[in-house]
């Protein structure tokens, strides 16, 4: 569904009216187009004392072809970047900011005490007005639970408050994320930065991502434009909406896609599959025989590399008015059946080593929602499944993660009454709803062979929605 206010607020007349009346002025977000560079503009690098990731970052920026400049507090950057053949220099002077930049990246991994937080102030105070529209901010730290002293854990945890506030202050389609990078996960930075610095992450903001040591085989894609080349990917609920967008992005990234939906959706399913050169699989995942049917289909394909549990349903009623079968249907399709399918696929060996399971939760599962006790229980359960299964599946070299979409422009949200729909659209830092492709790009990032350091993560695709924040 299109957002006509977004178009109006960006027209010459509309922008004057919106500014006179103090109405929100959301910016059309930049989205990924094949062939684009990862970052369209320079990256300003900053760091606190004893930053650990600067050498790894220099390698990543070289690999992605990013132009960098260094904040005055990081004079060592030139000595790291120049030997790699990167043109770089100091950004600004002591009292004047330098050029406008597309991204700010701050290495906070060396912070061990809150007294050192001035380094964050200096960098973001100097640079806050110099980020271009739809820019990116990344703060890199160490997960508090991995820290060796309470003081270190405290200052590392404090980075969350900074990052979430930056995401709210910078506006203009700029996103900000915190990435906790484990020791030994430095080689996982490239895959994460290729997503988080690029327009692929247009509607992901204020998220905390944990990069751990790789799970299973480490295999960077041979061609970053087709990271899923040769991979077999099942997408459930693929006949329309977010599922169709996921199938499309997976196919664009080189995957052989298996599109699944209920037999009643056969027409839409066939249309999507035909358009993408994919297989169509008509199967109700809620049925008792679904897990075995999927195992059989996967084994016939020689095993699957990625499973995306996207299919989901809503049957909204307040709990006092809800019939038991509505409760059961939602919990079954959205949660229990996914647990059964995962168990069957793993036990039968139908998922290959290095496989990825990606689930779709919802901000309803984080914030709760009136009339959605069944749905919110199922979507919170998806988060529980991801977090509890991650260490179990890691032993088999399999990762499991979830996305939690906020307000996404689909048939489901088009059916929401106007006032509630407008509130859902605007109550986030981007001032607009997300597109199905935004969810799909995030899922493709989890699905990538470059994401073996990502497991047990839940990333919201919600433009920093105020709900559940």
Q: Hey, which residues are catalytic here?
A: 375
The nearer residue to ligand NAD, 42 or 239, going by C-beta atoms, is 239
* Residue 108 dihedral angles phi and psi, to the nearest 5°: -105, 15
Rule CB under 6 A: is residue 449 a binding residue for ligand NAD?
Answer: no
- Distance separating alpha carbons of residues 363 and 405, to the nearest angstrom: 6
Are 116 and 93 within 8 A, CB to CB?
no
Binds ligand NAD (CB under 6 A): choice among 407, 421, 443, 463: 407
Binds ligand NAD (CB under 6 A): choice among 48, 141, 216, 237: 237
Binds ligand NAD (CB under 6 A): choice among 128, 322, 412, 466: 412
**Nearest distance from residue 395's CB to ligand NAD, in Å?**
28
Binding part of the chain for ligand NAD, among 4-12, 72-80, 112-120, 259-267 by CB under 6 A, reads 259-267
The nearer residue to ligand NAD, 265 or 345, going by C-beta atoms, is 265
- Distance separating alpha carbons of residues 19 and 15, to the nearest angstrom: 6
Long-range contacts of 301-304 (CB under 8 A, 24+ apart): 301/232, 301/258, 302/232, 303/232, 303/349, 303/350, 303/351, 303/352, 304/232, 304/233, 304/234, 304/258, 304/345, 304/350, 304/351, 304/352, 304/355
3-state class (DSSP) for residue 467: coil
- Distance separating alpha carbons of residues 382 and 379, to the nearest angstrom: 5
**Nearest distance from residue 207's CB to ligand NAD, in Å?**
15
In the block, tokens 């199938």 appear at: 247
3-state class (DSSP) for residue 352: strand
**Nearest distance from residue 23's CB to ligand NAD, in Å?**
23
Rule CB under 6 A: is residue 285 a binding residue for ligand NAD?
Answer: yes
- DSSP H or E stretch at residue 90: strand 88-90
- The pair of structure tokens assigned to 264 is 């009643």
- Distance separating alpha carbons of residues 116 and 175, to the nearest angstrom: 24
Strands (DSSP E) found in 148-273:
175-181, 207-211, 232-236, 256-261
The nearer residue to ligand NAD, 120 or 238, going by C-beta atoms, is 238
Name the DSSP letter for residue 280.
E
Binding part of the chain for ligand NAD, among 27-35, 152-160, 320-328, 404-412 by CB under 6 A, reads 404-412
- Distance separating alpha carbons of residues 228 and 369, to the nearest angstrom: 36
Which CA distances in Å does 283 have to 262, 292, 368, 412? 5, 11, 30, 21
**Number of chain residues interacting with ligand NAD (CB under 6 A):** 27
**Nearest distance from residue 422's CB to ligand NAD, in Å?**
14
Quick note: the x/- pattern for ligand NAD over 304-343, rule CB under 6 A, is: ------xxxx-------------------x----------
**Nearest distance from residue 369's CB to ligand NAD, in Å?**
10
Applying the rule CB under 6 A, the residues between 260 and 279 that interact with ligand NAD are 261-262, 265
Quick note: the x/- pattern for ligand NAD over 354-383, rule CB under 6 A, is: ------x-x---------------------
Rule CB under 6 A: is residue 286 a binding residue for ligand NAD?
Answer: yes
Applying the rule CB under 6 A, the residues between 103 and 132 that interact with ligand NAD are none
- Tell me which residues touch ligand NAD (CB under 6 A): 236-237, 239-243, 261-262, 265, 284-286, 310-313, 333, 360, 362, 405, 407-408, 410-413
């Amino acid at each position: 569904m299109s957002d006509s206010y977004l178009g109006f607020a960006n027209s010459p007349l509309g922008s004057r009216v919106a500014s006179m009346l103090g109405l929100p002025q959301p910016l059309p977000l930049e989205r990924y187009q094949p062939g684009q560079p990862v970052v369209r503009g320079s990256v300003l690098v900053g760091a606190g004392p004893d930053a650990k990731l600067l050498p790894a970052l220099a390698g990543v920026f070289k690999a992605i072809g990013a132009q960098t400049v260094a904040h005055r507090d990081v004079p060592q950057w030139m000595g790291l970047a120049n030997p790699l053949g990167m043109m770089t220099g100091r950004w600004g002077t002591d009292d004047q900011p330098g050029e406008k930049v597309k991204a700010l990246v701050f290495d906070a991994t060396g912070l061990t005490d809150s007294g050192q937080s001035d380094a964050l102030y200096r960098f973001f105070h100097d640079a806050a007005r110099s980020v271009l529209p739809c820019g990116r901010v990344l703060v890199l730290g160490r997960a508090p639970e991995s820290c060796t002293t309470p003081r270190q854990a405290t200052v590392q945890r404090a980075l969350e408050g900074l990052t979430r506030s930056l995401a709210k202050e910078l506006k203009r389609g700029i996103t900000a994320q915190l990435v906790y990078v484990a020791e030994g996960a430095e080689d996982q930075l490239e895959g994460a930065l290729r997503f988080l610095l690029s327009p692929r992450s247009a509607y992901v903001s204020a998220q905390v991502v944990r990069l751990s040591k790789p799970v299973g085989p480490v295999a960077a894609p041979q061609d970053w434009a087709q990271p899923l080349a040769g991979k077999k990917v099942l997408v459930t609920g693929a006949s329309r909406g977010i599922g169709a967008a996921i199938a499309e992005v997976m196919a664009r990234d080189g995957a052989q896609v298996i599109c699944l939906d209920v037999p009643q959706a056969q027409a839409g399913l066939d249309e999507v599959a035909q358009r993408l050169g994919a297989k169509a699989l008509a199967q109700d995942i809620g049925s008792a025989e679904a897990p075995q049917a999927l195992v059989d289909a996967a084994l016939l394909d020689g095993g699957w590399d990625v499973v995306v549990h996207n299919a989901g349903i809503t049957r909204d009623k307040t709990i006092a008015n809800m019939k038991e079968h509505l409760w059961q249907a939602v919990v079954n399709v959205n949660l229990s059946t996914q647990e059964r399918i995962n168990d069957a696929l793993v036990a039968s060996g139908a998922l290959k080593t290095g496989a990825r399971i990606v689930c779709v939760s919802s901000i309803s599962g984080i914030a709760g929602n009136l009339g959605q006790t069944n749905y919110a229980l199922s979507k919170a359960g998806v988060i529980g499944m991801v977090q509890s299964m991650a260490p179990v599946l890691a032993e088999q070299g399999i990762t499991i993660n979830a996305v939690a979409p906020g307000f996404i422009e689909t048939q489901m949200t088009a059916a929401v009454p106007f006032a509630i729909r407008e509130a859902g659209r605007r109550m986030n830092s981007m001032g607009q709803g997300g597109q199905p492709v935004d969810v799909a790009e995030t899922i493709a990032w989890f699905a990538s062979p470059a994401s073996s350091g990502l497991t047990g993560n839940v990333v919201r695709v919600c433009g920093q929605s105020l709900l559940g924040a």
